[in-house]
Protein backbone atom coordinates (compact mmCIF):
# COMPACT_ATOMS: atom_id res chain seq x y z
CA UNK A 1 0.00 0.00 0.00
CA UNK A 2 1.38 3.43 -0.82
CA UNK A 3 2.54 5.54 2.11
CA UNK A 4 3.49 2.52 4.26
CA UNK A 5 7.02 2.49 5.68
CA UNK A 6 9.24 0.35 3.50
CA UNK A 7 12.24 -1.74 4.60
CA UNK A 8 15.57 -0.61 3.26
CA UNK A 9 18.57 -2.89 3.16
CA UNK A 10 21.66 -0.77 3.58
CA UNK A 11 25.27 -1.96 3.32
CA UNK A 12 27.06 -1.67 6.71
CA UNK A 13 29.43 1.25 7.14
CA UNK A 14 32.81 1.37 8.86
CA UNK A 15 31.80 3.80 11.67
CA UNK A 16 30.37 2.25 14.87
CA UNK A 17 26.78 2.85 15.84
CA UNK A 18 26.09 5.30 18.69
CA UNK A 19 22.97 6.98 20.07
CA UNK A 20 23.66 9.91 17.78
CA UNK A 21 24.49 7.69 14.84
CA UNK A 22 22.18 4.65 14.93
CA UNK A 23 22.97 1.60 12.80
CA UNK A 24 21.75 1.78 9.23
CA UNK A 25 19.20 -1.00 9.90
CA UNK A 26 17.53 1.28 12.47
CA UNK A 27 17.36 4.79 10.98
CA UNK A 28 17.38 7.74 13.40
CA UNK A 29 13.69 8.55 13.97
CA UNK A 30 14.56 12.14 14.89
CA UNK A 31 15.72 12.78 11.33
CA UNK A 32 12.92 14.43 9.30
CA UNK A 33 13.76 12.36 6.22
CA UNK A 34 13.37 9.02 8.12
CA UNK A 35 9.90 9.97 9.37
CA UNK A 36 8.52 10.93 5.99
CA UNK A 37 6.65 7.63 5.27
CA UNK A 38 4.86 7.64 8.68
CA UNK A 39 4.06 11.33 8.35
CA UNK A 40 2.66 10.65 4.89
CA UNK A 41 0.48 7.84 6.24
CA UNK A 42 -0.89 9.82 9.17
CA UNK A 43 -1.44 12.91 7.00
CA UNK A 44 -3.48 10.86 4.53
CA UNK A 45 -5.51 9.35 7.41
CA UNK A 46 -6.16 12.82 8.83
CA UNK A 47 -7.23 14.06 5.40
CA UNK A 48 -9.56 11.05 4.98
CA UNK A 49 -11.08 11.63 8.44
CA UNK A 50 -11.70 15.32 7.66
CA UNK A 51 -13.26 14.43 4.31
CA UNK A 52 -15.44 11.78 5.97
CA UNK A 53 -16.78 14.23 8.55
CA UNK A 54 -17.86 16.77 5.94
CA UNK A 55 -19.51 13.99 3.90
CA UNK A 56 -21.38 12.85 7.04
CA UNK A 57 -22.71 16.37 7.70
CA UNK A 58 -24.13 16.61 4.18
CA UNK A 59 -25.68 13.13 4.36
CA UNK A 60 -27.25 13.67 7.78
CA UNK A 61 -28.92 16.85 6.50
CA UNK A 62 -30.79 14.82 3.89
CA UNK A 63 -32.46 12.33 6.27
CA UNK A 64 -36.18 12.64 7.10
CA UNK A 65 -38.26 11.12 9.90
CA UNK A 66 -41.87 9.91 9.80
CA UNK A 67 -43.63 9.21 13.13
CA UNK A 68 -45.85 6.12 13.46
CA UNK A 69 -44.70 4.37 10.27
CA UNK A 70 -45.12 1.51 9.44
CA UNK A 71 -46.89 1.05 12.79
CA UNK A 72 -47.77 3.22 15.81
CA UNK A 73 -44.78 4.08 18.00
CA UNK A 74 -42.13 3.62 15.29
CA UNK A 75 -40.19 6.71 14.22
CA UNK A 76 -39.28 5.82 10.64
CA UNK A 77 -35.91 7.07 9.36
CA UNK A 78 -36.14 7.79 5.64
CA UNK A 79 -32.83 7.54 3.76
CA UNK A 80 -34.36 7.84 0.27
CA UNK A 81 -33.62 11.58 -0.21
CA UNK A 82 -29.93 10.64 -0.45
CA UNK A 83 -30.65 8.62 -3.59
CA UNK A 84 -32.89 11.33 -5.08
CA UNK A 85 -29.91 13.67 -5.26
CA UNK A 86 -26.96 12.55 -7.46
CA UNK A 87 -24.43 14.64 -5.47
CA UNK A 88 -25.51 13.06 -2.16
CA UNK A 89 -25.62 9.62 -3.76
CA UNK A 90 -22.01 10.14 -4.83
CA UNK A 91 -21.14 11.43 -1.31
CA UNK A 92 -22.59 8.27 0.21
CA UNK A 93 -20.64 5.90 -2.01
CA UNK A 94 -17.46 7.89 -1.53
CA UNK A 95 -17.86 7.91 2.27
CA UNK A 96 -18.46 4.15 2.43
CA UNK A 97 -15.57 3.45 0.07
CA UNK A 98 -13.27 5.69 2.12
CA UNK A 99 -14.19 3.81 5.26
CA UNK A 100 -13.69 0.36 3.73
CA UNK A 101 -10.26 1.33 2.41
CA UNK A 102 -9.22 2.60 5.87
CA UNK A 103 -10.73 -0.08 8.08
CA UNK A 104 -11.16 -3.41 6.32
CA UNK A 105 -9.26 -5.77 4.07
CA UNK A 106 -10.60 -5.63 0.55
CA UNK A 107 -13.76 -7.80 0.52
CA UNK A 108 -14.33 -10.49 -2.13
CA UNK A 109 -18.08 -10.14 -1.72
CA UNK A 110 -20.43 -7.36 -0.62
CA UNK A 111 -23.68 -8.84 0.74
CA UNK A 112 -26.67 -6.46 0.66
CA UNK A 113 -29.92 -6.93 2.59
CA UNK A 114 -33.39 -6.93 1.00
CA UNK A 115 -34.47 -4.32 0.09
CA UNK A 116 -32.70 -1.09 1.03
CA UNK A 117 -29.27 -2.74 1.07
CA UNK A 118 -29.81 -3.15 -2.69
CA UNK A 119 -29.85 0.64 -3.16
CA UNK A 120 -26.11 1.01 -2.69
CA UNK A 121 -24.64 -2.51 -2.20
CA UNK A 122 -24.13 -3.21 -5.94
CA UNK A 123 -22.54 0.21 -6.67
CA UNK A 124 -20.24 -0.12 -3.66
CA UNK A 125 -19.27 -3.66 -4.73
CA UNK A 126 -18.39 -2.37 -8.20
CA UNK A 127 -16.19 0.38 -6.74
CA UNK A 128 -14.42 -2.16 -4.53
CA UNK A 129 -14.02 -4.63 -7.42
CA UNK A 130 -16.00 -7.17 -5.38
CA UNK A 131 -18.95 -9.43 -6.18
CA UNK A 132 -22.42 -8.38 -5.04
CA UNK A 133 -24.70 -11.01 -3.47
CA UNK A 134 -28.25 -10.35 -2.19
CA UNK A 135 -29.86 -11.62 0.97
CA UNK A 136 -33.57 -11.83 0.11
CA UNK A 137 -36.81 -12.27 1.98
CA UNK A 138 -37.97 -15.92 1.90
CA UNK A 139 -39.45 -17.27 -1.36
CA UNK A 140 -37.76 -14.87 -3.80
CA UNK A 141 -34.60 -16.79 -4.74
CA UNK A 142 -34.49 -19.83 -7.07
CA UNK A 143 -32.51 -23.04 -6.42
CA UNK A 144 -31.14 -24.44 -3.16
CA UNK A 145 -31.10 -21.81 -0.41
CA UNK A 146 -30.09 -21.42 3.23
CA UNK A 147 -32.71 -19.82 5.48
CA UNK A 148 -32.54 -17.87 8.77
CA UNK A 149 -35.47 -16.45 10.77
CA UNK A 150 -35.21 -13.20 12.72
CA UNK A 151 -37.07 -10.50 14.67
CA UNK A 152 -36.69 -6.84 13.68
CA UNK A 153 -37.90 -3.50 15.11
CA UNK A 154 -41.39 -3.95 13.63
CA UNK A 155 -42.02 -7.67 13.03
CA UNK A 156 -40.62 -11.14 12.27
CA UNK A 157 -39.25 -12.39 8.95
CA UNK A 158 -37.08 -14.95 7.15
CA UNK A 159 -33.98 -14.26 5.04
CA UNK A 160 -32.47 -16.51 2.39
CA UNK A 161 -29.25 -16.77 0.40
CA UNK A 162 -28.56 -19.02 -2.56
CA UNK A 163 -26.43 -21.90 -1.29
CA UNK A 164 -23.62 -21.28 -3.83
CA UNK A 165 -23.60 -17.47 -3.56
CA UNK A 166 -20.52 -17.26 -1.32
CA UNK A 167 -17.58 -19.66 -1.71
CA UNK A 168 -15.91 -21.06 1.43
CA UNK A 169 -13.20 -18.68 2.65
CA UNK A 170 -14.37 -15.64 0.69
CA UNK A 171 -14.11 -12.38 2.65
CA UNK A 172 -17.53 -10.82 3.06
CA UNK A 173 -18.76 -7.34 4.02
CA UNK A 174 -22.49 -7.15 4.93
CA UNK A 175 -24.20 -3.81 4.15
CA UNK A 176 -27.62 -2.34 4.85
CA UNK A 177 -29.21 1.09 5.22
CA UNK A 178 -30.17 0.91 8.91
CA UNK A 179 -29.35 -1.14 11.96
CA UNK A 180 -32.16 -1.00 14.52
CA UNK A 181 -32.49 -4.11 16.74
CA UNK A 182 -29.79 -5.87 14.70
CA UNK A 183 -32.04 -8.86 13.99
CA UNK A 184 -31.84 -8.54 10.19
CA UNK A 185 -28.07 -8.08 10.12
CA UNK A 186 -27.44 -10.94 12.58
CA UNK A 187 -29.53 -13.29 10.40
CA UNK A 188 -27.58 -12.20 7.30
CA UNK A 189 -24.27 -12.78 9.11
CA UNK A 190 -25.40 -16.25 10.17
CA UNK A 191 -26.23 -17.12 6.54
CA UNK A 192 -22.83 -15.91 5.33
CA UNK A 193 -21.17 -18.15 7.92
CA UNK A 194 -23.39 -21.12 7.00
CA UNK A 195 -22.09 -20.79 3.43
CA UNK A 196 -18.48 -20.80 4.73
CA UNK A 197 -17.79 -17.09 4.18
CA UNK A 198 -15.36 -15.19 6.39
CA UNK A 199 -17.15 -12.16 7.83
CA UNK A 200 -14.99 -8.99 7.64
CA UNK A 201 -17.72 -6.87 9.22
CA UNK A 202 -20.95 -4.93 8.81
CA UNK A 203 -21.53 -1.46 7.45
CA UNK A 204 -24.66 0.70 7.73
CA UNK A 205 -25.66 4.23 6.78
CA UNK A 206 -27.54 4.82 10.04
CA UNK A 207 -27.58 3.20 13.49
CA UNK A 208 -30.51 3.57 15.91
CA UNK A 209 -28.04 3.20 18.74
CA UNK A 210 -30.57 3.23 21.61
CA UNK A 211 -31.72 -0.23 20.34
CA UNK A 212 -28.19 -1.63 20.81
CA UNK A 213 -28.41 -3.75 17.64
CA UNK A 214 -24.63 -3.97 17.31
CA UNK A 215 -24.55 -6.15 20.46
CA UNK A 216 -26.09 -8.95 18.36
CA UNK A 217 -23.24 -8.87 15.83
CA UNK A 218 -19.97 -10.74 16.24
CA UNK A 219 -17.83 -8.91 13.68
CA UNK A 220 -16.71 -5.25 13.47
CA UNK A 221 -19.59 -2.81 12.92
CA UNK A 222 -19.29 0.56 11.19
CA UNK A 223 -22.11 3.09 10.91
CA UNK A 224 -21.73 6.34 9.02
CA UNK A 225 -24.37 8.16 11.10
CA UNK A 226 -25.90 7.48 14.49
CA UNK A 227 -29.00 8.80 16.21
CA UNK A 228 -26.94 10.17 19.13
CA UNK A 229 -24.71 12.41 17.00
CA UNK A 230 -25.21 16.19 17.34
Ligand X SMILES: Nc1ncnc2[nH]cnc12
Ligand Y SMILES: O=P(O)(O)OC[C@H]1O[C@H](OP(=O)(O)OP(=O)(O)O)[C@H](O)[C@@H]1O
118 binds, among ligand X, ligand Y, none (CB under 5 to 8 A by kind): none
Let me know if 58 is a catalytic residue. no
| Interacting partner of 75 out of ligand X, ligand Y, none (Cβ under 5 to 8 A depending on kind) | ligand X
CB nearer to ligand Y: pick between 76 and 104: 76
**Quick one: how far is CA 65 from the chain centroid?**
24
Phi–psi pair at 154, nearest 5 degrees:
-130, 50
Nearer to ligand X, 180 or 186 (CB): 180
- The answer to whether the beta carbons of residues 213 and 181 sit under 8 Å apart is yes
Is 116 part of the annotated catalytic residue set? yes
CB closer to ligand Y out of 130 and 188: 188
Q: List residues near ligand X by CB under 6 A.
A: 74-77, 152-153, 178, 180, 208
> Does 80 engage in binding with ligand Y (CB under 6 A)?
no
The binder of ligand Y chosen from 111, 153, 203, 225 (CB under 6 A):
153
C-beta separation of 178 from 206 below 8 A: yes
CA proximity to 51, closest of 115, 111, 122, 102:
102
Cα(159)–Cα(136) distance, integer angstroms: 6
The listed partner (ligand X, ligand Y, none) that binds 179, CB under 5 to 8 Å by sort, is: ligand Y
Out of 58, 60, 116, 127, the active site residue is 116
On whether the CB atoms of residues 109 and 175 are closer than 8 A, the answer is: no
Contact criterion met (CB below 8 Å) for 114 and 120: no
Q: Are 196 and 163 in contact (CB under 8 A)?
A: no
Site string for ligand Y, 113-152 (x = CB under 6 A): xxxx-----------------------------------x
Amino acid sequence: MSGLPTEHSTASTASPATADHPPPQKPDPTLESNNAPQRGLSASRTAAAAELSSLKIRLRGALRQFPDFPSPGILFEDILPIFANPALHEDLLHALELHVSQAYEKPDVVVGLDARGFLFGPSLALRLDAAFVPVRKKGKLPGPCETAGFKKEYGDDFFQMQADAVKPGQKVLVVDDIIATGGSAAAAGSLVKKLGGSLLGYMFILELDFLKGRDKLDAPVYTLLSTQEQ
